[in-house]
Structures are given as structure tokens and as C-alpha cells.
Structure 1
């Protein structure tokens, strides 16, 4: 049984998390990927979970509007509670409207008494982009109560219309305010850096003395980033590493429970279920736990409930293939200063958790884990590669002739020579999610299977490792 949630039909896209009474209500955009069967449009569905492992599907909660309506596609929004009722502000999207002179996007409203049964609010006047903003890029409302200013804030992914001084429309995090959630006034943008095409899925929260603004952008790296400030008004500062995962993880938003904050995003699938296919919109749910560091930076780690769900210990069967190796139970050591060393570790279950402490000895160039490997064809596999000389970790595919460059996914890591590196790797079908030192996440896909095994490799150096393999 898999651990990363995906609907039986289609894919999970943007997740809108809301926590109440210990239960996470995960509203999400459901892309059926079959318009011939389900018709055009994207509805909101609802999942409920306490542990990110067991889910209850409550079905469609906001259906698509009729053909030609403003909300034929129900795009991203938010959930808030006020005066005993729950409110959803969502993006009504229809890309067929601009050719007939109407905006593609507007902010719309729905209400509920129980978080499951929702009614679209026909009395709410849809919020369209005002003059000075691109009318077809006005989406992803995020609403919160600003206790300092005693009013509601609404953040939006928006773009300022092109100006002579800036001929390219520029992405901003737009700001509106309200006293009653019904009537909204435009304010100056909260964040306008002139860096990105747009700031999708904005999310704003506070931990301690710091405010954090999370958003996703597709103009540079197609990734989820964050900024930090001592004030809710900014200025919004970029940390040394502002990415929260790879470009394969997108549209992430957060929710808190009992003082712990979690990040919910989707791991994109690829066309034709191929390593060479184009990245798609939507895929499988990935959840990270956010940790604030003493200097205010954010890091992420695997939620403990997900790790605990892998309770079955599986045997590891080390067998040297290349180089010199010493094996003592689940502890191994080996390498070769002038070439590659490979140690096969047995069969790799379809869904599993690999937990390991890997120490690269001085001057070792590379080492890592081989996935979906054939012990007789040790040059073909997917690999999680540690590169201390570049301070990075890479998810790649290796063939006898070359690495497939467009496949690369990487994350920057601070790797100290001779210091143990703690890796936690979730493999769930084609999904691979790696955590480095309980601080850095790297999510990606591995479609092609070269075999059913897994192993350890070291290139031009030596390493020692203690590891375990667990299943659910």
C-alpha cells in the first residue's frame, strides 16, 4: 500500500489545508485528466487526515460551474473560520472567457457550517482585477485576520500591468483588506520584487518573531520559495536557500496543529509515465514538517507519523559487485580511490523507507544510493548522489553511456567533510522523496525500472554506512 496520496482517477493538484480539532481538512484541486469522461473543469475535493497516512475522501465539496460560467474551473483559494461559519475564497477560472471580452479569473466565495457541505455565495460580488493589474492573472486568495491592524487581509497572486518603465508585466503579491469578509479594498502590494512572472499560491504565517511569506513561481526555477520579515508589512528578505524542495514539488501551502506547521504540495507526474516526459500539473501529495532554525531560516523534515507508518523491518543483503567492501550486519565500508565501487543490497520493495547514516571519507568525490538496479548491469539505475565538492545532493538516472541531463533534480546541502550524513528516503512507486539531515527535502520521480534491486555506490573515494530498510 502506498503512502503518498493520489486519487484513484487523475491527479491531486493544489492543496488548501485547514486544521480544526486535530483533523487536517485537505481541500484540493482534482484534475481528472479525462475531459471526455468527466467533462471540462476542475472541482475541489476534500480529504481528512490526522496522520498524513490514513485518509478519508469526502468527495467533491465545490463543483465546477456550468459551461461558460466564471467558475467552470475552481482554482486555488483558502479556508477561514469566522463567527461560527466557515468561508472559502476561491478562484473562479475560465480561460474561454477572454476571447469574448470577459476576465479569465475572479475571486469568489462559498460558506459552510461543517467544512463538508458548502454553498456557493450568490450574493458575494466576484472580485475582478482592478485597473493597473492584469485581468487574467488574479487568483489564489489567501485570507487571514491581521490582529495588529484589526482587519482581514487577502493576498493574491497578481501581476502589475506593463508600464513604460517596466515593459514586462511584473508579478506581485497583491493585498486587499476588509472589515467583514464581504467588502474588500485594494491596498499597495505586500511584495513587489520585480523578480518573478507571478507569485502563485501565497501563504503568510508567523513563527516566533518572524513572519514568513511562501509562494510558488514558474518563471525561474518553477519551485516553492519563501521570504521572511520581522514585520507583517515587510521588507521581505530572502534567506541563503529560499527553496523548500525541488521544481518537481509545487504550489505548497501550510497549516498548523499543536504548534507544529506542515507544508502540503504536489509531486508532479510526467507525461506518458516516462523519465523523459514533460512535467505535468498535479501528481501525488507530499507533506513536509517545517522547522524554524535559531536564525529564523526554515528547514523541512519528514513528519514523524509518516516515518512511524513504516513498521516492518526488512532484511538487507549486502553483496559486493565492484571494489573492496567490509560488511558487518547492516554496517558496510568500502571504496576505491581511482574508480567506482558498488555494493548490491538486495530487493527494493515498491513502497519503503530507507534510513541511513553515510560518512564520506576525505577527498571522496561522490557516493549514494542506487534504486531500481540490476546487479548484473551495475551501470544502469536511478541514483541519489551526494556530491560534497559541490555541496549538493542530486536525483539522477545513470546509463552506461551518460547521465540524462534533463532528468537532474538537485538541492544545495551544507556537507562537512567526514561528518555523517543522515538520509531518509521514501520510495512509493515512481515517487522518491529524500530528506537530508532532517533539514533539506528533494522530491522527484523515477519511472524506468532497470531492475528490482538497490545498492550503495562510491566514486573515487571511500565511505562507510549504516542502514535499514522498512516497509508498511
Structure 2
């Protein structure tokens, strides 16, 4: 079955450079062949178009060999800024096009870091926009400042009147937080707020954002400063004039690209993450206080519209079943029920969940079987204000012998008793995309259990699961 979340044939999606024009999202991306497919094949920038994040039209290679960058249109000409990596250097490059397909590099516009404000080692991922306040272009870059500590990751700033000659300026944002450069910078404005987006693989591995009333800062760190968890990276955004969407990748665990897999690991679920994977699109939502959340795009949500018959039967605990809703009270232990039939390989699961005070955990068991342990657990944990993802090994005696982590993935969320929470889970083979309300997203992968049923559970408390549905594509 063809994957729902986009991936090119025999390759993977790396960093996405989104551009919107004439009703279509034109998604340039770094094409990841990886070692097993690369001989004799093109590398670098590829282009795919979509209007709905469901149907994609592949345009193929752009004949630009380089890393992440940006596209903008000025006076009818498209400008591409990107980076290249000759031995020991990182350089910013410039190319132009009249049709977004054939690009003409301008070698004389190539430049490196200045070695005065910025280190020569990191100088990549340019993002360019017109600053109306200054009447000139600004370029943001993933860079490293000069300084006494290795925490030199920053968002570099340059300015230009003509997109050719650039003035080096003090960093836009240099908080001394990250040992690595602030990758894939992105900047946009919604209402009174400016938002600076970047990704980092040091300290925490995620796409972050900061917010400010002014381009001159200060750049505020919100209470929750990421859009998703470990399995979503290098995200950049674009607006269609009404909504703004965030494009990142859900990494695979196929190839042990960095050589960190545990030597005796059983299966893939506990292997390390690769670079690149499948394209994931979140819609950005601005909250009343100016902070940002994400939700599933309406077109993706609506692509799964055919409901399946979902009868449940109890395994443990007393469950009440009325129509598409189930409830259970189990104040001193675990209770679970499950469907009769296996989950489809591609499907959407949804339910509105509420719980009582003192409840320890509630949620879904994905691809479970009758003993309710070999499953992927998606759990709301009210006592810790988080949603977590755990693989099946964590439910077994082997769980204490694996990596010394309590959970594989988690996202913070304010959980209030007796308040309904709408949870949507999208499954596409090994891909798992989880959304709570129009607020929280958590990406994951599921490799070692290829099939199984949907289960519901309550851990030491009581819960109501309303409108439990499993939908597939027509």
C-alpha cells in the first residue's frame, strides 16, 4: 500500500523548503537516497507540489546540489539561497529562476562567515525576507558566534539592499543555550507577534520557537517552546494567505545512519533515529496569549472519512458500552477493553476523553492483543500533565533492561479532570501521528508490531471515551 504521509519512491524526505503560489504548496526538499540507493543518482533539492497535503505531484530534481535554504520572488524572478559544504567550510550560495524548475547559480554571490562575529565552522540554512522597517533584506542563518563557551549556537543576521552584497551584523538571537547551530531558521508574523523558529539537536532534539513584539527582540521563550517531540525535525513554515502550515519530517529507524543502535536490540522500535523520513504537516494555531499550538490540517483530517464498525469487548475491569461511547471506573487498578478486529494499516482513530480526579492514566493501546501488554501505549497522564508514547517492551519484564528511560516520547499538556479532550491518532504503516485538541502534536514510529487491535484503558481512576471511531480512506 502506498504511504499516506509523503515519501519519494526508494528515498526519504529531508529538510523541506516550502513556497506557496497560485493555490499550490511547492515543497522543495532535500532528497535523502541514503547509502543503499545513492550510486549514480542525483542528490540535493527536489520539488513536489500539493494543494491539500494528501495528493502530491513530483517534479523531480532541481539540479541544485546543496543544503537547506529559502525561496523568494522579487520582480518576477525567483531567488534561491542555499548552502554547500566544501571540505572544512560551509558557504551560502545564490541561484535564480524564471519558472522554479531551471536554476542558474551565481557563483560570485557565494560567501562564508566573516570569522569576526561568527565562526567559519557553521554557516548554513539561509532564510531571506524583506524588512519593511529597514527598507532592506534580512538573511538569517544557522551559525556559531565567537565566544568563550561551546554554547555558541545562534541565529546569525545579515542585511542587503540588492540580494548580492551582504553586511554582517550581530546575531538576531544568541542565547548561549545550544552547543550546535540553530538549524533551519524561519521567521513570520501573526498579528502583533513575530515568531522565530529554529531546530536544534543538542540538549533537546526538536523544532523550537521564540516570540517577540519586535524584530529587535527581546525573544521570549514560551512555557512550551516546541511544536512536536523528538520524531519531528527541521520544520519550516509557509502561509497560503489565511493559514500557516509547518513542514517537518518524521524520521525512520531503518538504517542506523549514525552507528548508535544497541547491538542486541530486538527489532527496530528501540533503534536510533535516522536523518529524514516522511513529510509531516501541522497547521499552526495562535492562542489568545500569543503562544503557538498545532493541529492536524483539515484536508488530512478529512481524508479519512469512511467509518468502520467498532465493537469492543472487555478484557479486564467493568466497562459500560453505549453506542460509540464507553466508560469504566477502576480506582485501584488497571482496566482495558479492545476491538474485535485488527486496526487497518492506514486509519484515523478518534475519541473525546474525560477523566475523574486522581486518575493516573487513560488512553489508547495501538495494535494490541488479548493480554494488553504487547501494544503501543498512548497515555494521558493527569498527575504529570503530559501525554506519552511507550513501546511494547516497556510493558514487559524486559522493559527494565533496555535504555534507562521511563517513556520513549512525551509532550506537556495541561490535563484537567472532567474536561473533555479530543484525541486523534493517524496510523500509516510504521508512522503514528497524535493530536490532542487543536493544541498538541506528537509524532512517533511503530515498527515491531505490524498489526493488532485498538484497546482503551484506564489506570487507577475512571474515564469516559465518547464517540470512539476508526475511519479509513474511501
Q: TM-score, normalised by structure 2?
A: 0.92
Equivalent residue of 2:137, what SS?
strand
CA distance in 1, matches of 2:446, 2:458: 21
TM-superposed deviation, 1:40: 8.6
* 1:64-463 equivalent positions in 2, closer than 5 A: 64=65, 74-94=66-86, 97-98=87-88, 103=89, 105-122=90-107, 124-132=108-116, 133-161=118-146, 163=147, 166-168=148-150, 170-197=152-179, 198-272=181-255, 274-345=268-339, 346-375=341-370, 377-398=371-392, 399-401=395-397, 403=399, 406=405, 408-449=408-449, 451-463=451-463
CA distance in 1, matches of 2:149, 2:463: 53
Equivalent position of 1:69 in the other structure? none
Q: Judge conservation of contact 1:374–1:451 (CA < 8 Å) in 2.
A: no
Equivalent residue of 1:307, what SS?
helix
Q: Judge conservation of contact 1:374–1:450 (CA < 8 Å) in 2.
A: no
Which segment is superposed worse, 396-405 or 329-338?
396-405
Equivalent residue of 2:170, what SS?
coil
* 1:27-66 equivalent positions in 2, closer than 5 A: 27-34=28-35, 37-38=38-39, 42-64=43-65
Equivalent residue of 2:72, what SS?
strand
Q: Judge conservation of contact 2:342–2:451 (CA < 8 Å) in 1.
A: no
CA distance in 2, matches of 1:227, 1:413: 19
CA distance in 2, matches of 1:136, 1:437: 42
Q: Runs (4+) of structure 1 moved beyond 3 Å?
A: 39-42, 402-407
TM-superposed deviation, 1:93: 1.8
CA distance in 1, matches of 2:129, 2:30: 21
Offset from partner CA, 1:22-75 (integer Å, 9 cap, x none): 1100000011013664359841100100000000000001343xxxxxxxxx11
Q: Judge conservation of contact 2:10–2:37 (CA < 8 Å) in 1.
A: no
TM-superposed deviation, 1:317: 1.7
Q: Judge conservation of contact 1:32–1:38 (CA < 8 Å) in 2.
A: no
TM-superposed deviation, 1:92: 0.9
TM-superposed deviation, 1:325: 0.6
Offset from partner CA, 1:192-214 (integer Å, 9 cap, x none): 11111221000010000000000
Q: Alpha carbons of 1:327 and 1:308: their partners in 2 closer, same or farther (altered >3 Å)?
A: same
Cα RMSD (Å): 1.6
CA distance in 1, matches of 2:420, 2:45: 44
Q: Judge conservation of contact 2:151–2:178 (CA < 8 Å) in 1.
A: no
Give the count of matched residue pairs. Answer: 451
Q: TM-score, normalised by structure 1?
A: 0.92
Equivalent position of 1:16 in the other structure? 17
CA distance in 2, matches of 1:368, 1:355: 11
